[in-house]
Amino acid sequence: MKQSFRVRCIVEGNARATVLSTTQPIAFLKGVDPEKGTIIDSKHELCGASFAGKILVFPNSVGSSVGAYVIYRLKRSGKAPKAIINQNADIITASGCAIAGIPLYDMTEDSIKEFKSGTRLVIDGLKSEVRVL
């Protein structure tokens, strides 16, 4: 099984944490609770799950561009993910992570399905590489 993956850097940084992974897009405005760091969209497969302090893996975000400010609020309330890995990063997630200072990477070669919830990952920003521990 492949243990290390090349990723594209959007907002740099390192992280070492447990994964919370979904193949469904996330809407930050109204889809997450920025005071608790949880998914609250009742139609989402991760509804109720906490991503605070984890590496949050999802394909891309959807919904209002105010979502960028929700990502910023997550950081201020101490409930932000340690880092985010997208399949294809989009403007909302990218600008939100940039203002909040949350490392963001996306996958141009492999599928985010390689990263299952519960596994531990290291993001090496300098090498743009993700390793499974």
Partner 1 sequence: MYLSPNEERALAGEYGESMQMAYRVLVALGRLSRAEKLIPIKWAHVSGVSYLTIGDYGLEFLQKVSSSKGTRFKVFTTVNPCGMDIENWDDLKISSDYAEKQLKINACYEKLGIANSFTCVPYQSYKIPSAGSHVAWAESSAAIYANSILGLRTNRESAVSALASALTGKTVFSGLHIDENRRPEKNIRVRLEKREKKFGGSLDYGLLGYFAGTKVEGVIGFQGVRSKLEVDEAKALSASIGTTGSSGMFVLGSREKVETIDFTEKEYEDNFSDLSSSEGGDLIVFGCPQMTIEELYELSRALAGKKFKKKCVVFCSSKVYEIARSRGYSKVIESAGATFVRDACADFTPLISSLGAHSVETDSCKGAHYMRRVHGVDVALKDSRTLVEENIA
Shortest approach of partner 1 to residue 90 CB, angstroms?
A: 8
With respect to partner 1, which residue has the nearer C-beta, 18 or 65?
65
Nearest-angstrom CA–CA distance, 105 and 107: 7
Site for partner 1 in 28-47 (CB under 8 A): 34
Single out the residue of 17, 99, 122, 132 in contact with partner 1 (rule: CB under 8 A). 99
98 touches partner 1 (CB under 8 A): yes
64 part of the active site:
yes
Shortest approach of partner 1 to residue 56 CB, angstroms?
A: 17
Residue type, 98: A
**C-alpha closest to that of 31 among 17, 19, 23, 43:** 43
11, 40, 79, 100, 133 from 35: Cα distances, Å? 23, 11, 7, 15, 30
- Extract the tokens encoding 129: 């590489």
92 touches partner 1 (CB under 8 A): yes
Between strands 104-106 and 83-86, the pairing is parallel
Which positions are annotated as active-site residues? 64
| Binding region for partner 1 (CB under 8 A) | 8-11, 34, 65-66, 68-70, 72-73, 76, 89-92, 94-99, 101, 104
